[in-house]
Amino acid sequence: MIETIGTYATAFWLIVGAGFALVGAIGILKFNDGMTRLHAPTKVGTVGVGALLLASMIHSFTIGAGSFHELLIMSFLFVTAPISANFIAKVHIHKKSCDTPPPPPRDDTWSTLNTPADQQLAPQAEETDKVRL
C-alpha cells in the first residue's frame, strides 16, 4: 500500500518538475531580451528542479534507503539561484543592454547603476599627475 502511494507521488512530482522545467526552457527561447530571459530559469527552472529532487527523495524513502541529501541540494539551489540572477541582472544593466533600467525605489539609487557624485571613485587623472612629477 505504501509502495503504491510512494510510486504515484514520485510519478506526480516527476511530471510536475518536468513540466516546470519545460516551461522554463520554452521561456528562454521565447523571451526577447536578456532581462526577461532571466526570469525563466531562475523562477520556473528552480521550482522544476526542486520538484524533481522531491520526487527523488520520496522514491528513496519508498524503497527503504531514505536520505535527506536531496533536501540539502534543494536548499542550496533555492539560496544560490536568486544571487546568481541578481548578478546577471546587474551585468545587463551596467552593459546597458536592457531597454530601460528599472526605476529607483523610494527615490534612492538602484543598486550600483546610479551612484551619487559624492560616493563615486576619485578621477584617475589626479594619480597620473602625481606620477608625471
Contacts for 120-129: CB closer than 8 Å, 24+ residues apart: none
Q: What percent of the chain has pLDDT over 90?
A: 11
Where in the chain are the domains? Answer: 2-102
58, burial (CB in 10 Å: exposed 0-12, middle 13-18, buried 19+)? buried
Crossing angle, helix 46-62 and helix 2-30, to 10 degrees? Answer: 160
Q: Can you read off the three cell numbers belonging to residue 73?
A: 541540494
- pLDDT tens, position by position, 13-30: 999 999 998 888 888 888
Nearest to 54 by CA among 79, 78, 29: 78
Q: What is the pLDDT of residues 56-101, one digit of tens each?
A: 888 888 888 877 888 888 888 888 887 888 887 777 777 766 566 5
Instruction: Give the DSSP per-residue string, 49-90.
Output: HHHHHHHHHHHHHHTT---SHHHHHHHHHHHHHHHHHHHHHH
C-alpha grid cell for residue 104? 529607483
